[in-house]
Amino acid sequence: MAKSHAAQAGTDLSAAAHDPGAPPADSASAPPEPTATAATPTGGQQPPLSWSGLRPLLLRLHFYAGILIGPFLLVAAVTGLLYTATPQIEAVVYRQELTVTPHGQPEALSAQVAAARAAVPEGTLMSVTPAPGRTDSTRVVFDKPGLPEDFTQTAFVDPYSAEVLGQERTFAGWWLPVRSWVDALHRHLHLGEFGRNYSEIAASWLWVEVLGGFALWLTAPRSRQRLRRVLVPRAGAKGRRRTMSWHATAGIWASVGLLGLSVTGMTWSVHAGESIGKVQSALAGPTPALSTALPGRTAGPDSGSGPVPAKDVVDVGIDAVVASAHAAGLSGALNVTPPAEAGNTYKVKENTRTWPERHDAVAVDPATGKITDRVNWADYPFLARMTSWGIDAHMGLLFGLANQIVLALLALALIAMIFWGYRMWWLRRPTRSAGLTPGRAPARGAWRRLPGSFLAPAVLVIAVIGYYVPLFGLPLLCFLVVDRIVGSARRRRTGQAEVAA
């Protein structure tokens, strides 16, 4: 009788391995979960590598990662969906500070900065963003005592009247409070550096789930109309097959965008981001840096080289500095950083983050208004530009409203896929069991069906990825340990039941 149950269970699992949509056996007491070792040929010889041997292992990984990483992905998707709407929310909430009515000619930029200084007397000037458009305000950013790390105080000035329209606490000198709050929620759930682990886990595993599901769905057995069944949910399917069809086809359509979000999310993460930065530097070389040190400046006729005391520095003024930057070809949204100390230059950088991006930068001598150094965006290594493009696309900046819509659709697709994934797990449960029994996982031991010539390099590659992307490697190690413990406990229970029988 035990043999009969084991054979039937093996048949059910074999079908499930080749067709993930197959419903589980519906029995009052489900048989113990079998392993996949039965597929190994007699004589101890490992079979050659084949997709039929690899698929059960991939199916099990996709299942467990979906169950355990799903909550992290769901939170990232929901908060990311909220983030896509922040530009429109800010435009309404901060309309008084952000927009002005053009009238006459703008006041000198120095007069606008003076008005902002008067409004924030205890602040230290950090940067100025002249109004990029006729209906935009000028932003004057200050460091101010008592602000949290990375936060600044920004005064918004009407360029036509030099009137201060209001002040807001900004993150990194740019993001207003609404976007700062939502961004912090998305990045670390307002839990600080510890909370950033959640978003890094989500980004580190999203690509695994997408590629795994992509491979499983494309290679699932089908009859006619193969392409249509890959790209369109199955018409007439019911129950778990229908749910899986929607889950998989949504994943196919969203796969490229989700992979992009995964990669760019890891780029600025804490652990993986550091590794990516090192790899990028090794492959492409360092990113060009603008020199803001004044060349050949001395402290006086009878002294050696060194910085000039601040009281002796002649400053041509911010208006002349911006005019020099314009004459050098800089345009669009500019960010002007004054000298940090005597002996340094102004730094003027383009900050156009929509396509095509512009990030040229020049250093301007405060005494003469002459350009002393320049870095062109075109001279950046290709990988550095790719990283910038990817991050701006991730933030919904690169292509404006179209970018925001695509991000919102990707977030909705991911939320729906997670819901369908958990529903499939629910539909796998034994329907006649007593109590609330979760769905059965795919067969254990699938790795034993793979030849050592594949397993050894695969383990090495996974170890390397886990080293450079630790929040992929550590959860995977935890999966393996927990799976081993659960498997041992089930084998003990099965052995005790056989002895009792």
Question: Model's pTM, two decimal places?
Answer: 0.83
Residue 247 has pLDDT above 70, yes or no: yes
Q: 3-state SS string over 80-118?
A: HHHHHCHHHHHHHHCHHHHECCCCCCCCCHHHHHHHHHH
> Percent of the chain beyond pLDDT 70?
82
- Tokens for 137? 């305000």
Give me the count of residues in the chain. 501
> Using one digit for the tens of pLDDT, what is the confidence trace for 448-489?
778 888 889 999 999 999 999 999 999 999 888 887 887 788
| 195 backbone dihedrals φ, ψ, rounded to 5° | -65, -20
Sheet holding 371-375, edge to edge: 163-171, 151-158, 138-143, 124-129, 334-337, 346-350, 361-364, 371-375
Identify residue 207 by its one-letter amino acid code.
Answer: W
Give the angle 299-302-308 at the CA atoms, nearest 5°: 5
Q: What is the mean pLDDT of residues 13-29?
A: 39
Give me 52's structure tokens.
């039929």
Top CATH class, 311-379: alpha beta
**If you search the block for the tokens 């949504």, which residue do you land on?**
250
Residue 305 has pLDDT above 80, yes or no: no
pLDDT above 90 coverage of the chain, percent: 61
Per-residue pLDDT band at 174 (split at 50, 70, 90): confident
Question: Between these two residues, 45 and 410, which has the higher pLDDT value?
Answer: 410
Range in 10-14, 50-54, 437-441 with the lowest mean pLDDT: 10-14
Local confidence band at 25 (pLDDT 50, 70, 90 cut-offs):
very low
Q: What are phi and psi of 80, to 5 degrees?
A: -65, -40
Which tens digit of pLDDT belongs to each residue from 324-379?
999 999 999 999 999 988 899 999 999 999 999 999 999 999 999 999 999 999 99
- Taking only the tens place, the pLDDT of each residue in 56-100 is 889 989 998 999 999 999 999 999 999 999 999 999 999 999 999
Q: What is the pLDDT of residue 372?
A: 97
Domain boundary assignment for the chain: 47-94+179-283+403-501, 99-125+136-175, 311-379
Q: Is the pLDDT of residue 296 over 80?
A: no
Task: Write down the pLDDT at residue 5.
Answer: 38
User: Which three-class secondary structure string do you get for 7-51?
Assistant: HHHHHHHHHHHHCCCCCCCCCCCCCCCCECHHHCCCCCCCCCCCH
Each residue of 28-53: pLDDT tens digit? Answer: 334 444 444 444 444 456 567 777 77
Identify the helix (H) or strand (E) that includes residue 186. helix 177-188
Pairing of strands 346-350, 124-129: unpaired
